[in-house]
Structure 1
Amino acid sequence: MPNGISPIADADDPCRLAAAELNAAYRAGSLSPVEVTLAALERAEAINPLFNAFTMIDRKGAIEAAGASEKRWRAGEPLSAADGIPTTLKDIVWVKGWSVRYGSRTTTSAAYDKDAPAVALLRRAGAVFIGQTTTPEFGWKAITDSGLCGITRNPWNAQKTPGGSSGGAAVAAATGAGVFHLGTDGGGSIRIPASFTGIAGLKPTFGRVPAYPSSAFGTVAHIGPMARTALDLSIMADAMSGRDISDWQQGVGTLAPLGRIEDTLLGARIGYWSKPPSGALDSGIAAAVSHALTYLDAFGATVEPIDLPGGDLLDLFQHHWFTGAAARLALVAPSERAGIDPGFLEIAEAGAAFDVQALVAAQLERAEFGAAMDRLLDAYDFIVSPGTSVPAFDVGLEVPPGSGLSRWTEWAAFSYPINLSQQPACVIPCGMTAAGLPVGFQIIGARGDDARMLSAAADLEAAFLPMTEAFRLKDFA
């Protein structure tokens, strides 16, 4: 392994067990939530000096929660399949009793007195919160560094970025420091770090997971799970889904519960989206994903090349994202802005310069694009694509060196369109580049069809196993 880090190839390591395996062990009494939580805490403490995944590790709170879970399991009364599962929370959602800084020195260190809805649902399900994971300032970009918390590094190569903005969560998942990891995704912030670190990440259908307070970035922003397997994504997503009346944007109904659906890929009609609307597709990633597509033959699936509908999707997304940045910056007093990430200030300034007519036009164009995507996913069972157009690149940079790009949005082109259209999208690993960096494979489903899409992802995970064994058996400690 790079950087002199020795992998632990023990499949029975409690830090590598999936939620269903832990449920079975808790039920049988062969493992306890306290044992597993202690192992996760030790792993988090071991990897944090190397990769900077955590802003805070809550040893006392985690052990207390694990003890309560252990009593429930011994009584045969677990709250859910998430009960006793070590879980991390991104430093961008409210957590009662924790300081939430949004990766920014402009925020207060005072503890919050209320959970965000998704956090409250996970707590109610019995999840054990072991710590808080790093994010760039206000989650504005697809790499993870900030003036407050420093640089977060990729465990496959510490000189590379894990992506962002949920980079700390991805590193925690990849290294076994917890099983469930709450991330947010406004333009790829779950799926990009999942691709860069060889884990699984889900951007659910918009509204499945409630959000409060509303994101300054509006309805492109989603909350979702990150884990090591698609099944764990499904279990965690189910635990954090539900109606919450504080989230007006969620809608009046709730989506159907998630669950495994068999044979979702059998004879499926699949559209392969391989042309990013901005930037260029790396040849190594293209080759890995093309090879992965051959595994669909075993399911009798039909794969057809497709292009996305719409016009200049980069410009459309940037109208939404940059104006969101301007709105977020407006909450910061001018006297406190000197230490803010310069890139964030730049996009906020660009967003503030958009006129009202241009913004309304962008909102109308987004509606047309979303409807066209709904029609496309009525014609196809699923759309698949590379998880990212580039592999992980050097830390401290917003764009790959020598790429000629200027902003992260330009290389996040397999992500941000699906934030605009709000379909569920899942990334799983499908191999590695010649340089030993993970490659992600994205599966997109129709809105509300999260269960079928996650089931397809689970089937593909099993099919891809010969290419992804390294992701399942290695730890970094």
Structure 2
Amino acid sequence: MTETAPIESLPATELVARYRSGDLSPVEVTAAVLERAERLQPELNCFWGLDRVGALAEAVASERRWAAGTPLGTIDGVPTSIKENVAVRGFSQPSGTAAKFDAPVATIDGPSVARIREAGGVIFGVTVMPDYGMLSSGVSSLHGITRSPWNPAWTVGGSSGGAGAAAAAGIGPLHVGSDIGGSLRLPATWLGLVTLKPSFGRVAVDPPYMGRVAGPLTRTVDDAALFLGVLTRPDPRDYTSLGEQNLDWTDVHCGESGVAGLKVGFHLAGGAGLATDPEVAASVLRAVELFAAAGAIVEEIAPPMTEKYLADLDLFLRVRSLADYEVLEPARQAMVLDFIRDWVLAGSGVSGTEVLRCYQSIQDLRATTVAATAPYDVVLSPVSPVAAFPAEWPMPTNDAATSLDHIAFTAPYNFSEQPASSVNCGFTADGRPIGLHIAGRRFEDLVVLRSTHWYERARPAAAEPVWPLHTVHKPVH
């Protein structure tokens, strides 16, 4: 990829190496990224805002530091985007909904943004999300529809859909997203990207919430690892933070033995919700067989999710979002996406006792997930039971009643607080990307990342993304 890619689409690892050698300047790279963002924005609709003046000023300062041999950190001068729900000074946080169109402008950077600036990263833009981050698509009452660089008729996933679209389109190498049930991994699987949903508390967020994490969306494992070395530095605003962690995020190689001897569990069914599409199952099974052929000890396991767990999680999240909806004035309630309104109103009238029962069910899901996966170094599965669906659909079923039927593979690891990655493992017959989900024990993020790195290099050429290099075409209706 790096031999033919334009400079704005080069990996962060290569950019840093070329800044160090003097072969490239952060200014020319940032200018190229901004030009690409501005050119593709009308068609992809992935940015809430771009900061040309601020980004170029940061790039100039970075260029001076590299010339003096004094870079601030490991990503000095690397263009970076931030998801809309992470505070960036100078930008508002409307959470993807028209009901918050006049949200106040942030005056203080959130934790991820602060860490990036400390390391010299160049923040060039803020990416969009769907209403309240509660959709696995790029559909927003405020922003409209975000479209895939692979094909504008396909979804980008969500809720980190704008970040995913920017990454897949090669608009800079590093993008911050967040995940409370799959919002990093679902864009990754439907766009062919790499991500790691880290162990809970590893990347500071503000405010923290059960299951919520922030993390990278990139094209390569090496870039994700480089970025995690920055994002995992602590922040006092997150009272759930793991603090100083002292992990060597550059240590992502499995070594000469590869995955030989690794204990690997796998399952192709989610245990609840949608059945796994045969093309998705076949691609993931081929990846499992590749691990086995390399000497991993592979065993099929039962999925941790059940229909009861999924129904209870769905109801709990409906009531949680209903609390946000009910504080809005009626005029603003009318601005919320109809799909979201239908979904949250199904939580009306639920008793406190029932909510607490659902909460306890989520804790039971956590215990079940930990117990099911504890015997294994990693567990392999699909990220989603289906490949990308139409861009106009809010969710894969396009039905609020079955809104969460696609998160049986991803959600257990949010609430068990375990790390889980996505890396492309194949394509459907019509070219839609398919992600391999690799989950590990809590705090064993590097084990997951090493396994992901090994697979990225061992996978067949047919499973490797060949990224779109040019502008997409507008959809035909």
TM range (shorter): over 0.9
Q: Does 1:238 align with 2:223?
A: no
Counterpart of 2:84 in structure 1 is 91
Counterpart of 2:280 in structure 1 is 285
| 2:154–2:388 contact (8 Å) kept in structure 1 | yes
1:362 match: secondary structure: helix
Which stretch shifts more, 301-310 or 253-262?
A: 253-262
With the length of structure 2 as denominator, give the TM-score of the two structures: 0.92
Counterpart of 2:301 in structure 1 is 306
With the length of structure 1 as denominator, give the TM-score of the two structures: 0.92
Aligned counterparts of 2:305 and 2:98: Cα–Cα separation in 1: 39
Distance 1:407 1:47, change over 3 A: farther
| 1:56–1:131 contact (8 Å) kept in structure 2 | yes
| Map 1:6-405 → 2, pairs under 5 A | 11-107=4-100, 108-214=102-208, 218-250=209-241, 254=245, 256-263=247-254, 265-276=259-270, 277-309=272-304, 311=306, 312-400=308-396
Distance 1:287 1:310, change over 3 A: closer
| 2:264–2:298 contact (8 Å) kept in structure 1 | yes
Residue by residue, what CA displacement relative to the aligned partner does 1:168-190 show, whole Å, maximum 9, x if unpaired? 11110001101111111111111
Letter in 2 for 1:249: T
Distance 1:417 1:353, change over 3 A: farther
**1:318, CA displacement in angstroms?**
1.1
| 1:399–1:406 contact (8 Å) kept in structure 2 | no
Residue by residue, what CA displacement relative to the aligned partner does 1:372-406 show, whole Å, maximum 9, x if unpaired? 322333300000111211111112213446x8884
2:210 match: secondary structure: helix
Aligned counterparts of 1:467 and 1:77: Cα–Cα separation in 2: 42
Distance 1:17 1:315, change over 3 A: same
Aligned counterparts of 1:187 and 1:290: Cα–Cα separation in 2: 23
Distance 1:9 1:458, change over 3 A: closer
Aligned counterparts of 1:239 and 1:465: Cα–Cα separation in 2: 31
Distance 1:110 1:314, change over 3 A: same
**1:41, CA displacement in angstroms?**
1.0
Distance 1:23 1:53, change over 3 A: same
**1:452, CA displacement in angstroms?**
1.5
Aligned counterparts of 1:202 and 1:14: Cα–Cα separation in 2: 25
Letter in 2 for 1:407: T
Aligned counterparts of 1:15 and 1:460: Cα–Cα separation in 2: 26
Distance 1:465 1:16, change over 3 A: farther
Aligned counterparts of 1:32 and 1:468: Cα–Cα separation in 2: 33
Distance 1:317 1:256, change over 3 A: farther
Which stretch shifts more, 429-438 or 354-363?
A: 354-363
Counterpart of 1:5 in structure 2 is none
**1:13, CA displacement in angstroms?**
2.0
Match of 1:455 among 450, 455, 473: 450
Structure 1 unaligned blocks of 5 or more: 1-7
Letter in 1 for 2:122: V
Residue by residue, what CA displacement relative to the aligned partner does 1:69-96 show, whole Å, maximum 9, x if unpaired? 1111111111221211111111111111
Which stretch shifts more, 345-354 or 187-196?
A: 345-354
Aligned counterparts of 2:83 and 2:175: Cα–Cα separation in 1: 8
Aligned counterparts of 1:425 and 1:271: Cα–Cα separation in 2: 13
Letter in 2 for 1:291: R
Distance 1:404 1:328, change over 3 A: closer
Distance 1:304 1:208, change over 3 A: same
2:176 match: secondary structure: strand
Aligned counterparts of 1:362 and 1:336: Cα–Cα separation in 2: 29
Counterpart of 2:409 in structure 1 is 414
1:379 match: secondary structure: coil
Structure 2 unaligned blocks of 5 or more: 473-477
2:112 match: secondary structure: helix
Residue by residue, what CA displacement relative to the aligned partner does 1:46-87 show, whole Å, maximum 9, x if unpaired? 221121111211111111111111111111111221211111
Distance 1:431 1:206, change over 3 A: same
1:452 match: secondary structure: helix
**1:328, CA displacement in angstroms?**
2.1
Aligned counterparts of 2:25 and 2:293: Cα–Cα separation in 1: 39
Aligned counterparts of 2:288 and 2:309: Cα–Cα separation in 1: 26
2:178 match: secondary structure: strand
Aligned counterparts of 1:272 and 1:423: Cα–Cα separation in 2: 16
